[in-house]
Amino acid sequence: MKAWLHAFRLRTLPLAISSIGMGSFLAASEGFFRLDIFLLAVLTTIFLQILSNLANDYGDAVSGIDSEDRKGPKRAVQSGAISKEKMKMAMIVFVILSLVSGVALLLVAFGLNWSALLFFFGLGLLSIAAAIAYTVGKRPYGYVGLGDIAVLLFFGIVGVCGSYYLFTQKVNWMVLLPSFSCGLFSIGVLNINNIRDIESDQKAGKFSIPVRIGKRRAAIYHVVISLLGILSALVFVILNYVAVWQLLFLLTLPFLYSINVAVLNKPSDQLDPYLKKMAVSTLLFVLLFGLGLLSM
């Protein structure tokens, strides 16, 4: 059980929940919220995140990316704690759980609105495929530096705008701004992970963004995406300003600042604790942003 909990990487779950939380807060601020939709959306997202983590563990072990040179915690398949066959079976289980939970979510949200059902079911299948293909297959997109784009798409735009639509069943282009914030902060988590593993990834032929541009530029890249995440939220508040409470999310600035300082100055092998700090800071950002929305 300890090996499986480690493979699930529970510290990544706050990040997965953040996009659903943001979409839910945005919908609630307009008078749209249902607890059943929220809980099913969170459950589906958790299943997808765990699936992604298991696929990452399996894919990196099979490809040889995980090696003795890797700076982060030992992976389950790499260390032999879980066999490849059992990991593949677990991935299948979480694919099924994601599908069952996702279909239940869509039926609760849309009833028999077939156009909405089919569109979101397609998004769900795409999310499952993206979770697996990041590190599994002949040409994993995570190994060529495309992980950041996928994170912005699924942890930002799809997660926030999709969950907002589940509640409201309407399109609001303004929602893109906070979705960019969630997506950019999520990229920050991935970027710290990739900076930490930059040496082992380079040796193994995994061309993440830090491998392509170097540690120093990757650290500056982290600062830029953090600032852009805050800026996107600020623009949203300025365009929808009602009360000063909408700026509560700025209380996360000291946390983001400390993380940026660490990324800029610490050696790559000392960055692992900042993965959790960045994920928790993102969730805190969403909670404070949401409280500000509800004060409108």
Q: Residue 207 pLDDT more than 80?
A: yes
Please tell me the distance from the alpha carbon of residue 284 to that of residue 230, in angstroms, as a whole number.
13
SS3 33: coil
pLDDT-derived band at 205, boundaries 50, 70, 90: confident
CA–CA distance from 170 to each of 22, 122, 162, 166, 239 (Å)? Answer: 16, 18, 10, 9, 19
C-alpha of 18 from chain center: 8
Q: What is the pLDDT of residues 276-293, one digit of tens each?
A: 999 999 999 999 999 999
Give the model's pLDDT for residue 71. Answer: 56
Q: Residue 116 is encoded by which pair of tokens?
A: 């909405």
Q: What is the pLDDT of residues 154-177, one digit of tens each?
A: 999 999 999 999 999 999 999 999
Q: What is the pLDDT of residues 80-118, one digit of tens each?
A: 788 888 889 999 999 999 999 999 999 999 998 999 999
Radius of gyration in angstroms for the set of CA atoms belonging to the chain, rounded to a whole number: 19
Give the model's pLDDT for residue 74. Answer: 66
Q: Residue 78 pLDDT more than 80?
A: no
Q: What pTM was estimated for this model as a whole?
A: 0.93
Give the model's pLDDT for residue 65. Answer: 61
User: If 0-12 CB within 10 Å is exposed, 13-18 middle and 19+ buried, where does residue 272 land?
Assistant: middle
Report which of 73, 19, 15, 86 is spatially closest to residue 276, judged by C-alpha positions: 15
- Domains of the chain by residue range: 2-294
What percent of the chain lies above the pLDDT cut of 90?
70
Please tell me the distance from the alpha carbon of residue 210 to that of residue 145, in angstroms, as a whole number.
9
Q: Which residue has the higher pLDDT, 47 or 62?
A: 47
Buried b (16+ CB within 10 A) or exposed e, 128-166: bebbbbbbbeeebebbebbbbebbbbbbbbbbbbbbbbb
Report which of 94, 133, 102, 130 is spatially closest to residue 20, judged by C-alpha positions: 102
pLDDT-derived band at 66, boundaries 50, 70, 90: low
